Structures are given as structure tokens and as C-alpha cells.
Amino acid sequence: MTRFNWPVLMRAGVRGLGLTPGEFWALTPAELALMLGHGSGAAPLDRARLDELLQAYPDRKGDQNNE
């Protein structure tokens, strides 16, 4: 039987993913693993990738969708 390291998982969920404790405890282990980038889903967006997207698509004042 595999044991979970709850303190590490809680730190990853609450600090790393920004989940509230209630949101963390509502997840299944499979959902949490997927959100942490494990399994068949895509890895979560990290700060470096967000910065790349901000460079590629900067906010502009007066944009039709961003006034």
C-alpha cells in the first residue's frame, strides 16, 4: 500500500497551486496529481510560461476587450 505524504501534498496544493484548504480536501488524489503535472494531463502553467505569454500578448490600453 502506498502512503501519502500529506504535509508535502498540502504544501504543494495550498502554496504551490493556491488552493484553499477546503478546495484541497475536496480533490481526489488523481485530481491533485493531475493539477501537479503528473499523469496524462499537461503540466500546470508555471511562472516562466506565464511571463512568455505576457511578452507575446501584452495588455494594451484601449483594446476592445481590455478597456
Give the pLDDT confidence of 17-56 residue by residue, as tens digits.
999 999 999 999 889 888 888 776 666 788 998 999 999 9
C-alpha–C-alpha distance, residues 26 and 29, integer Å:
10
pLDDT of residue 60: 81
Domain span including residue 34: 6-56
In a domain? residue 42 = yes
pLDDT of residue 30: 85
pLDDT of residue 61: 75
In a domain? residue 18 = yes
* E runs forming strands in the chain: none
pLDDT of residue 42: 64
**Residue 3, pLDDT above cutoff 70:** yes
Total tally of structural domains belonging to the chain: 1
pLDDT of residue 34: 85
State the first-to-last Cα distance of the chain, in angstroms, to the nearest integer: 54
